[in-house]
Structure 1
Amino acid sequence: MTDDIIEFRTYRIAEGRRADFDEHFQTNALPHFERMGIRIGAFWDHPDDPETVSYTVRWAPDEDPAARWAAGAQSPPWVEAKERVNAVGPLVLSITSVFLAPRPDMIDRV
């Protein structure tokens, strides 16, 4: 059992821009996260809402996610990629984030 904290992020995508979002994540976001050492887990679609996507990030207990996200947001390549993708209007309307900590005392009961 790991002590890692899981961040569950949900993105609300602008109407009609899902294909742009997917391409942006594949070509810009995921490589950027990898360079920064941000560990992405799984992705989920929301079957009842095709313009919503969720994914997980795994953080060590001693990591500061807010500082890592802030540093990444200021990276010149990221700023440039974000400006390009938002040139025709905002791609992402909102991002929500929930942090989940492991419950080792419950593992045998699931």
Structure 2
Amino acid sequence: MKKLVGAGAFVHREPNDYVEQLRTESMSVGTYSIPVGGVDDQAPHHQEEIYVVTAGRATFVTPDGAEPIGPGDVLFVPAEKEHRFVDITEDLSLLVVFAPPYSGR
């Protein structure tokens, strides 16, 4: 067992911040933080992702549409799918699970 202390907690660094808390052969877990008014500049990943919104409010956008998100929401993104967070109205903190492990931006 491993306890991930601080996973999902907002970290204020400009323009946004990703910190990995766990990596295994099959997955990785990290925290992605975007401040109010920040710009999510990520590109599609080679991994599938699960986002758990731990704090904040924003709109999640994919080619399929846009969805307002807030604490407690869980989002699944298939590998290679275009997606981003926009209209960040409260400091946004997301626990992110990647499978296979995240390989960088």
Structure with the higher strand share, 1 or 2: 2
More helix by share: 1
Return the structure number with greater relative CO, CA threshold 8 A, min gap 6.
Answer: 1
Larger radius of gyration: 1
Q: TM-score, normalised by structure 1?
A: 0.33
Question: What is the TM-score with the length of structure 2 in the denominator?
Answer: 0.34
